[in-house]
Amino acid sequence: MLHRSLRNPATPALGLSLLAGLLLSACSSPEKPAGETTAATGSPDSAASAAPAAPANSPLQVVAQFREPQIVGVAVLPDGRVFGDFPRWDNNPVNAVAEIKPDGSVKGYPDANWNLWNETVRNEPQKHWICPQSVHADKTGMLWVLDPASPGIKGTVPGGPKLVKIDPKTDKVVQNISIPESVASRKSYLNDVRIDTQNQYAYITESGVGSLVVVDLKSGKARKLLAQHPSMMADTTLNIKADGHELIDPSGNKARFNADGIALSQDMQYLYWKPLTSYKLYRIKTDALRNPALSDAQLAQQIEDLGNVPACDGMEIDAQNNLYMTTFEDHSIKRRTPDGKIETLVQDPRLEWPDTFAFSGDGKTLYVTNSAIHKTPTWNKGIGKQDQPYHIFKMALSK
């Protein structure tokens, strides 16, 4: 889901400062919304003069589009309801988590109070979206929101990191799990989540330090695992590109993003992950992650190196164990088959940094956001170069 970790394990203080600069000076002050739009734009892509045009044969259909704020995550319920999250990075959105209505309008979710974050609610960090990073629908139709609580990725708000379960039938929060500082440190950035409904566990990638976080949903206890293990860390030898250009921040530092993309097999037996700036894919059996008796060293022995795949942000996996990847270096969505073959499903210039996936309830439609990370001011000498709206797309999947 992002790209959020510029952390270099050898220089932790520098890493956090680089991470904070990911999206140019972070967000505006919480009490002063900047660049907020509460509804999707109705204009076609061509409304932006330099916007990429849709190829004639593209399978991507526009579900919604937004000029600002920047969308990252998407979730789709079995009944077709669509949700998105708009983290507080450059913008301070009025609706940081929202339901995207069929007419393109955006409604704060689950209500306006949860979306409120300013000086008046500073003493209630567990009751408000601070910087929500991920929305995810589980197999039972529950909606989960992961909030790393690090506005502008400058460091977590004490007491703010949380994993929240919402029942869409009532639009009410039914579980609110605080992630303690011992697990989500001030330098952490909880990134993406998958829910194991069979065993009642959540698995989370954490990009700031580089780790996995495993949450027992019955007890609410969270554990940090494999912190700074090589499988969690960015490959510092790579020069990852988007639109053919290396990602270099205003200080001249190249992008270095730790554990990010995550996918849980449909039988919930395997968890897949990869650092964003890396070409390596890893997996481990989930029963190992759920075993508190195993040390990090013992867990590391069970990690499977699945070889090279393209650099990607988001991941998802289908019932046939095909792994889908948002491959941002060439504006595409690719699929890794169980035998390791890499297939390109769609290549479309509108996929400016394809970010996060969601399946429809029947698994026949794939939804994806584009967040144009590489066109934000941080990676363009302080000048934003977004030339089209942010999107939610969907496409039918062929088996």
Quick one: pLDDT at residue 4? 37
Are 347 and 332 in contact, with CB atoms under 8 Å apart?
Answer: yes
Quick one: pLDDT at residue 91? 79
Quickly state the pLDDT bin for 365 (edges 50, 70, 90).
Answer: very high
Domain ranges of the chain: 12-396
pTM higher than 0.85: yes
CA atoms within 13 A on the CB side of 197: 12
For residue 341, count CB atoms less than 10 angstroms from its CB and return exposed for 0-12, middle for 13-18, buried for 19 or more: exposed
DSSP letter assigned to residue 97: E
DSSP letter assigned to residue 48: S
Quick one: pLDDT at residue 238? 86
Q: What confidence tens digit (pLDDT) does each residue in 271-311 have?
A: 999 999 999 999 999 999 999 999 999 999 999 999 999 99
Mean of all residue pLDDT scores within the chain: 88
Q: Please state which CATH class domain 12-396 belongs to.
A: mainly beta
Quick one: pLDDT at residue 35? 34
Q: What confidence tens digit (pLDDT) does each residue in 217-255 have?
A: 999 999 999 999 999 999 988 888 898 888 888 888 888
Quick one: pLDDT at residue 130? 98
**DSSP characters for 218-243?**
TT--EEEESTT-GGGS--TT---EET
- Residues in Cβ contact with 44 at an 8 Å cutoff, skipping those fewer than 6 apart: none
Quickly state the pLDDT bin for 399 (edges 50, 70, 90).
Answer: low
